[in-house]
Amino acid sequence: MEELSLVSVIMPTYNGERYIEQALLSVLQQSYPQINVFVCDDASKDQTPDLIKQIKAQHDTRNQIHLIQQSKNQ
């Protein structure tokens, strides 16, 4: 059996609440099973981090989403 390579998606965001759900669900819906998503939130002032956590709790059955939060905008 051939082992599949791991694909990592790095998704930077700042105040991205308008698009983050669509972007994350799009990655999770891919047919390729070996995907990790690293969402780097650059200290958003909107609800972006909360939405990411909510999407992770509701849709991330394979623990593919990893949130990295900056404490201040860089």
Summarised one tens digit per residue, pLDDT across range 13-23 is 999 999 999 99
Structural domain of 14: 7-69
Q: Classify residue 45: in a domain, yes or no.
A: yes
pTM assigned to the model: 0.89
Q: Domain tally for the chain?
A: 1
| CA diameter of the chain | 47
Res 2: pLDDT:
75
Q: Classify residue 1: in a domain, yes or no.
A: no
Interval 5-10 mean pLDDT: 96
Q: Classify residue 14: in a domain, yes or no.
A: yes
| pLDDT tens by residue, 29-70 | 999 999 999 999 999 999 999 999 999 999 999 999 999 999
Q: Classify residue 20: in a domain, yes or no.
A: yes
Res 24: pLDDT:
97
Res 3: pLDDT:
86
Q: Are 15 and 44 in contact (CB under 8 A)?
A: yes
Q: Classify residue 74: in a domain, yes or no.
A: no
Q: Are 29 and 2 in contact (CB under 8 A)?
A: no
**Continuous segment of H or E residues that includes residue 55:** helix 48-59
Tokens of 57: 């709790």
Cα dihedral sign, 41-45-50-55:
negative
Q: Classify residue 26: in a domain, yes or no.
A: yes
